[in-house]
Structure 1
């Protein structure tokens, strides 16, 4: 696994996305269906096996019902 995916910011991002999915009451499969992707896509970004580009990140946030800006602000706050 690339070391960049082990940085605190990525760990926090993954944590926030998993928490948002769970709060929304969605499974990985349901998120994948909404995104028109395979379930493994969701599993891999949640486990830190793949990165999300900014467009995918925005689509995931919309699917989960969270504001992408709020997620980024939470990550920025955790760095302080």
Structure 2
């Protein structure tokens, strides 16, 4: 089994997460401040250089003003559009 951080689906997940942040009008720097981390960490996570765990994803959602369910729904839509479901 291929590690999920290197799959196309994980890339689509990161794109969905990044799009949610951008749609909320929040920069990486602002997100980092809201999460009490530095901006390079946000960049590494969004580019797939550092993996996010479930709890971190939930915290990111709260920081950008969406629910985990909203992110999940958006990700499922992205997968369907990409023909991955």
Q: Which residue of 1 aligns with 2:12?
A: 12
**Take 1:41 and 1:47, find their aligned partners in 2: how far apart are those partners?**
10
Q: Which residue of 1 aligns with 2:61?
A: 61
| Residues 13, 71 of structure 1: 8 Å contact kept | no
Question: How big is the alpha-carbon RMSD for the aligned residues of Structure 1 and Structure 2?
Answer: 1.8
Gaps of 5+ in 1: none
Q: Which residue of 1 aligns with 2:50?
A: 50
How many positions carry a matched residue from both structures? 79
Larger Rg: 2
User: What's the TM-score, normalizing by structure 1?
Assistant: 0.84
Task: Say whether residues 1:37 and 2:37 are aligned partners.
Answer: yes
**Take 1:65 and 1:51, find their aligned partners in 2: how far apart are those partners?**
21
Gaps of 5+ in 2: none
Note the C-alpha offset of 1:19: 0.6
